[in-house]
Amino acid sequence: MQGTVDGFAFGAVTPAASYLVACVGSALGLRCVVRSLSNRQSWKPGWLALGAATIGCGIWTMHFVAMVGFRIQGIPIDYDSRLTSLGLVVAIVMVGIGVFAVGYRGATPVTLTAAGILTGLAVVATHYTGMAALQLNGSLEYDSLTVAASVLIAVAAATAALWTAASYRGFPAALGASLLMGVALTGTHYTGMAALSVHLRGATDASYMTGMYGNASPASILLPMLIGPVVFLILAGVVVMFDPQLVLGDGDWSRANPRRRRGTAVVPQRPAHTPQTASLFEPRDQGVGRHTSPRGR
């Protein structure tokens, strides 16, 4: 018997919320990646790792926010915690491989395309791993052509987002890149859900459902799992917002010091003490703040 699948149990609330989460996570992660490219003095591994983890958390969180509105008429659903956690690990690792390649090999066409493909595949892997984590009294079946369409959407949109973020500077490019990544994530999810059909097995009476799954709703199962990644996204947002170069959107501080754009030589004054950097991943200048003895003058 075929089950009736409903991916919009709360109407437009879950698609809108999942798209917002996808855009926010992508925007934060892409800014971290661009930060590592635009400033050679920054601690590259730290920014790339933060970017990969943020984008991965955004991918995973987006999927399960959307799944809050997922229902199969007549049966309850549960989630395998190990496969659910595996989806998060897969997303971070696959995105990390791509962004580290861009960070260390440069934003060349080859590396940007490879990173876009890996990021798109991370979106696909997270989605279908999350779907494999479903526990229900039935089996999941997919239409192969629609699945292929979801893969193409993920790869194309993720690649376009990375190209936009790495090739252009300023707020419009950052906004456009995050919106494209939001399309990659939500487009993959809902196209993949359109490919889904559920074949129900055996009994579906109320006593069977209560005995196996209890009375828990998908929201009560998923929302506690979302707390950790959402908190991480908030902390990543704090790091990004309090980093001056990310706020200005220009790694060489050209907006902060317009004289550099005119070619005027600027001789920085040496402070009397070591300045406290505003970035968690900024290396400190060990030579600053050392006093010269009057006898050596």
- pLDDT tens-digit map of 201-244: 865 544 444 444 445 666 667 777 888 888 888 888 888 777 75
Residue 116: inside a domain: yes
**Angle in degrees, CA 47, 52, 58, rounded to 5:** 125
Q: Is pTM beyond 0.85 here?
A: no
Domain count, the chain: 1
Domain that holds residue 202: 2-248
Question: What integer pLDDT is reported at residue 213 of this predicted model?
Answer: 42
Q: Is the pLDDT of residue 55 over 60?
A: yes
Report the C-alpha gap between 17 and 13 in whole angstroms: 6
Residue 114 lies in a domain: yes
Give the C-alpha separation, 129 to 64, whole Å.
11
Which segments within 121-234 are labelled E, that is strand? 134-135, 138-142, 196-200
- Residue 265 belongs to some domain of the structure: no
Does residue 282 lie within any of the structural domains?
no
Residue 289 lies in a domain: no
CB atoms within 10 A of CB 139: 11
| 88 in a structural domain | yes
State the pairing for strand pair 78-79/5-6: unpaired
Q: Is residue 190 part of a domain?
A: yes
Quick one: average pLDDT of 124-142?
94
- Is 142 inside a domain boundary? yes
HSE value, Cβ hemisphere, 13 Å, CA-based, for 130: 27
